[in-house]
Structure 1
Amino acid sequence: MDNKSLSHTRWKCQYHIVFIPKYRKKVLYGKVREDVREIISILCKYKSVEIIAGAVCIDHVHLSVAIPPKLSVSDFMGYLKGKSTLMLYDRHPELQSKWDKAFWARGYYVETIGNITDAAVQKYINEQAEESRREDSSSTAL
């Protein structure tokens, strides 16, 4: 198993996230693309988020990440988009609009990534419940 662990928790929380620049502007190329890649990497390290895979396309970003369970996806995305905007404007002030401070669009797409099916989870839960019933009936027989 390639689960990670915290002090009392084993976890494997992987997500596929897609987000875009405001108005889906085609600005993520050249030096800006390199800087976005570097900034996202730095910010993920600060929050102990592992980047499994990623792609900075000309008008959107794809990330496959493992986010610790103590950090919600929503909190992480707020942090990532907010801080990356500030860092990007420091490096590329020409991208900043005097009327609108946001670089990224408001929303994002997220889906969980798993290697088991719903049926497998249901089967596991049913097996655990059955095992618990057997243990319970054997302990009352004593």
Structure 2
Amino acid sequence: MKRKDWKSTGTAVYSIRYHFVWSTKYRRPVLVPPVDASLKEALLALAAERGYEVLALEAMPDHVHVVLSAPPKEAPAAIAKVLKGATARTLFTRHPELRKRLRGHLWNPSYYVGTAGEVSAETIRRYIEAQKEEEEE
């Protein structure tokens, strides 16, 4: 691991990468233009506000991939809760038709989270892009 990949807080030096995936309620394919752009914008703004570094982000029609680095004091469950909750509020405000179509719940209650370890951000990005290409076929 290269030292330049390290981040620090007042009490810790870290290199943590989480890969989150969560889906829309009922796996409905609603994350299409312009909703997907609103979602990405909201996720990037929220991550910046919370001090997370987004390394990769992709919205498929029915699910989202987010790879980010966050301080070790932030539990993955808390990160998922914040990302899903805030983006649901934002998307329901910007795209009110979603609330009716999804019966008031944008996201499935579950999610996937894994640690990316020392895999490069570029490798993760390629993996996520490959997922999108597979889905489009």
Structures share fold, TM-score greater than 0.5: yes
Q: Please, which of 62, 76, 79 is the counterpart of residue 76 of structure 1?
A: 79
User: Counterpart amino acid of 1:103?
Assistant: L
Contact kept in structure 1, 2:25 and 2:102, CA below 8 Å: no
Q: Which runs of 5+ in 2 are unaligned?
A: 120-137
Q: Which runs of 5+ in 1 are unaligned?
A: 117-142
How many pairs were matched up?
Answer: 116
- What is the CA–CA distance in structure 2 between the aligned matches of 1:3 and 1:66, rounded to whole Å? 10
Structure 2 residue matching 1:97: 3-state secondary structure:
helix
- 1:80-99 alignment to 2 at 5 Å? 80-97=83-100
Aligned position for 1:46: 49
Give runs of ≥4 in structure 1 deviating > 3 Å.
Answer: none
Report the CA distance between 1:83 and its aligned residue: 1.0
User: Counterpart amino acid of 2:61?
Assistant: I
- 1:5-20 alignment to 2 at 5 Å? 5-20=8-23
| Percentage of pairs with the same residue | 33
Structure 2 residue matching 1:79: 3-state secondary structure:
helix
Query: Taking structure 2 as the reference length, what is the TM-score of the superposition?
Result: 0.80
- What is the CA–CA distance in structure 2 between the aligned matches of 1:100 and 1:60, rounded to whole Å? 17
Report the CA distance between 1:100 and its aligned residue: 3.6
Of 106-115 and 90-99, the range deviating more from structure 2 = 90-99
